[in-house]
Amino acid sequence: MLFTRRLMLGLAMAGSIVSALAVPAMAEGPTEIDLFFPVPVDGKLARDMGTLIKEFNETHPAIKATAVYTGSYDDTLIKTRASIKAGKPPAAVIMSANFLLDMQIENELTNLDGLIAADGTTKEKFLGQFFPALQGNAVIDRSVYGVPFHNSTPLLYINADKAKEAGLDPSKPPQTWAELTDWAKKLTKREGDKVTQWGIAIPCAYDYCGWMMETLTMTNGGRYYNEEFGGEVYYDTPSMLGALTWWNDLVYKHKVHAPGATPGPAVSTSFISGNAAMMMLSTGSLTYVRDNAKFNYKVAFIPRNVRNAVPIGGASLIVPAGVEADKQKAAWTLIKWMTSPEKSAWWSRATGYFAPNMAAYKTPDMVDFLNKNPDAKTAVEQLDVAKPWFATYKTVPVRKNLEDEVMLVLNGKKQPKEALVAAQKAADETLKPYNAETSLKLP
Amino acid sequence: MSLAEPAALPVAASAPPHLHILKRLSTRFKTSLPAYLLLLPSLIFLALFTYGAMGRVFIDALYQRATPKAPLRFVGLDNISAVLADPAFTGAVINNLVYAVGTAIPSIGLALLFALALARTNAVTSALRAALFLPVLIPMVAASALFLFIFLPNVGLLDYYIGRLLPVLPNWLGDSDIALYAIMVITIWKNAGYYMLFFLAGLQSVPEDVMEAAHLDGAGPWQRFRHITLPELKPTFLFVTVIAILNAVTQVDHVFVMTKGGPSNATNLVLFYIYQQAVEHYDIGKASAATLLTLAALMGLTALSFRTMANREGGA
């Protein structure tokens, strides 16, 4: 008899002594957790985040959360991965919504189903709080991996004063590509060969460029990638060719869009300074435009060629893999608090992102705010036609495969067709290992 | 036995000199021990963080992970050939060569000009020296953020002034033909003041009496510069050139802040390519292979420059 009663008792006692020693050590002071947060758009997001976390810590004495600024969406992914590799992941991260699939493939995410169940609720009920369009980027294989925090859609921003000046009616913004081209032509001013005012600006820098291509492709009737499976993108398709050709025409045929690749901040600065009369940009920049534009502006749906559609943008809250149980719990408290109707409404007003929690729009403060700022409604209305955001295996490199080629087109180095063929080839190459393991692995 | 007997003799005879050598070695060791002890901390760090890391890179370069769930697999030199076949890498190498030559020559030239102009010490030259040295003190990331606004198309500081003169306003960082030269400007602006310091120090070593003698012999300023100053500055030139080339490979902060290697890899440099492979593509094997190639090139270059320096000293 190896397991005598005495031995068992001894083990149990040893166990209780160990846990008795361990528990007070852990109970000392609040649970300290880190929250990684990016700032992908214009404005004073970092200061607002400080205000939000301060309030959380004041109302939750058992937890001490620290907000850590981690740069752009792409940088935040890199820093999160580095910290997971180093064995010290932050308890929560505001992660670009389309990186979740890639991270799940790499086993870098905590499945949130358990934490939801521990609250005595169901996945359906929990997700039911959020706009349906957001769920595609939060749920993978029927498990919840992310909680939508701040989300965006692209918008068309119009300088209403300049439109009136050009004899256009800003209360009837362009609804189709043809109308937009027409507006852009009328809003472009030249002195000889030199353009002093551009009709339209569309950002193209790594990250933004892919999102804008997805936007144009969707309004042109297309899909961008396989929403169900991480191994396929549709770069070399008629809908994307049409989209890139139109963008190329704005630059080189109609000459109403500046050539070259322009990052988001340069586009918004150009719009604010009156150098560009219209721009396509995230609703995340809305508060920045509202605070800084010294002219009347108007926001509108992204014009369509075939149909109205936009991709979701923005970020979700995630818990990286490898976070200890007590920190997971603390992170979950923080995540639920941040995505509650009141807080997500406050954050939406502060930044311009829309609030993913539908109940946020029923809070009195938000109703008030929307009455005063009807421009904040546009992104929410556009949600009816919103689709999930591009997510594949190795999302960033696959996205860059396209972006590098689009930049060549905007720089006048390639024609749209050859660029898309090259992008497709490069992306297929990047996706090959994943397909070899999944879709090409035959029984 | 009889054969072993005579053989034993010389051994016995040579024993005292043998001991003597040991003694000499031990005294030499005793005197140099403090020196080694003083070097030890540096040696430990060098071993841990330089040679250890290099060894790790060497091993990592031989392995590849096909997919996230697949185990590491020994692939030999496959990673090296994959890197060499990658147009992004060859593009980065060419960009880096253009960048190295295009930043080293102007910044060294400017540094020499500054040093010659400000060689004499007085209130004005001290102030100017400080002004020229100021960019060195600004962190590269901050400087890049600054230049991001200067280069802003249409509304930036540069276009605000130059835009009036040019027929078409260039998109400085967004045009794949211009972007690399735009970021080179920052490097030149930042490094010229730094290299100036070395030339200022170098000018101190130009012997006063030789200069005076040449002056008395009727040598003009150009002749004196050409035949006395320049040869005296030769070691400084060599040193600064090596630093400038190393800087061209190791400074990528501005690429990171301003262009992320874009548009379409036009500003991608070798170190940034390695970073991309490691953290964006999550491909440690390829990143290590690219690191090895870069290390080999840099070591070759450094060895060459040391030899050149040694030869020069030998000849002098």
Instruction: Provide the CATH number for the domain around residue A169.
Output: 3.40.190.10
Backbone angles phi, psi at A107, to 5 degrees: 60, 45
Helix axes B284-315, B234-250, angle to 10 degrees: 180
- Within this chain, do residues A215 and A165 fall inside the same structural domain, yes or no? yes
In a domain, residue A208? The reply is yes
The residue written with tokens 């964006």 in the block is B280
- Within this chain, do residues A262 and A368 fall inside the same structural domain, yes or no? no
Taking one residue from A and the other from B, the number of pairs with CB-CB distance under 8 angstroms is 100
- Give me the torsion for CA of B174, B177, B180, B184, rounded to 10°: -110
Q: What is the mean pLDDT of chain B?
A: 86
In a domain, residue A418? The reply is yes
Is the per-residue pLDDT at A5 higher than 90?
A: no
A10-35 burial, b at 16+ Cβ within 10 Å, e below that, comes to eeeeeeeeeeeeeeeeeeeeebebbb
In a domain, residue A278? The reply is yes
- Within this chain, do residues A168 and A304 fall inside the same structural domain, yes or no? yes
Cis (ω within 30 of 0) for the bond into B263? yes
Shortest Cα distance from A274 to chain B (angstroms)?
9
Dump pLDDT digits (tens) for B260-302. 888 999 999 999 999 999 888 888 999 999 999 999 998 888 8
Is the per-residue pLDDT at A329 higher than 80?
A: yes
Dump pLDDT digits (tens) for B260-270. 888 999 999 99
What pLDDT does residue B16 have? 59
Is the per-residue pLDDT at A23 higher than 70?
A: no
Report chain A residues whose CB lies below 8 A from the CB of B170: 260
Is the per-residue pLDDT at A149 higher than 80?
A: yes
- Within this chain, do residues A101 and A63 fall inside the same structural domain, yes or no? yes
Percent of chain A past pLDDT 70, that is, above it, reads 93
- Within this chain, do residues A182 and A115 fall inside the same structural domain, yes or no? no
The residue ranking higher by pLDDT, A314 or B160, is A314
DSSP classification of residue A280: E
The arithmetic mean of pLDDT across residues A218-242, rounded, is 94
Q: Which of A219, A256, A257, A259 is nearest to A240 (CA)?
A: A219
- Within this chain, do residues A299 and A346 fall inside the same structural domain, yes or no? no
What pLDDT does residue A43 have? 62
- Within this chain, do residues A147 and A158 fall inside the same structural domain, yes or no? no
- Within this chain, do residues A107 and A125 fall inside the same structural domain, yes or no? yes
Closest chain A CA to residue B283 = A394
What pLDDT does residue B2 have? 44
CA dist., res. A339 & res. B151, Å (int): 39
In a domain, residue A14? The reply is no
- Within this chain, do residues A335 and A356 fall inside the same structural domain, yes or no? yes
Report chain B residues whose CB lies below 8 A from the CB of A413: 176, 264
Is the per-residue pLDDT at B244 higher than 80?
A: yes
In a domain, residue A20? The reply is no
Shortest Cα distance from A424 to chain B (angstroms)?
15
In a domain, residue A443? The reply is no
Q: A117 — contact with chain B (CB < 8 Å)?
A: no
Contact call for B281 and A408, based on CB within 8 A: no
Shortest Cα distance from A303 to chain B (angstroms)?
25
CA dist., res. A258 & res. A36, Å (int): 35
In a domain, residue A197? The reply is yes
Instruction: Look up the domain containing A264 and give its range.
Output: 154-310+392-438
Environment class of residue A325 by beta-carbon count within 10 Å: exposed (0-12), middle (13-18) or buried (19+)? exposed
Task: Point out the domain boundary residue: A346, A372, A387.
Answer: A387
- Report pTM: 0.84
How is A377-441 classified by DSSP, letter by letter?
Answer: HHHHHHGGGEE-----TTHHHHHHHHHHHHHHHHTTSS-HHHHHHHHHHHHHHHHHHHHHHTTT-
- Within this chain, do residues A396 and A377 fall inside the same structural domain, yes or no? no
- Within this chain, do residues A132 and A230 fall inside the same structural domain, yes or no? no
For residues A103 and A120, the answer to whether their CB atoms sit within 8 Å is no
Q: How many domains does chain A have?
A: 2
In a domain, residue A25? The reply is no
Is the per-residue pLDDT at B12 higher than 60?
A: no
- Within this chain, do residues A366 and A398 fall inside the same structural domain, yes or no? no
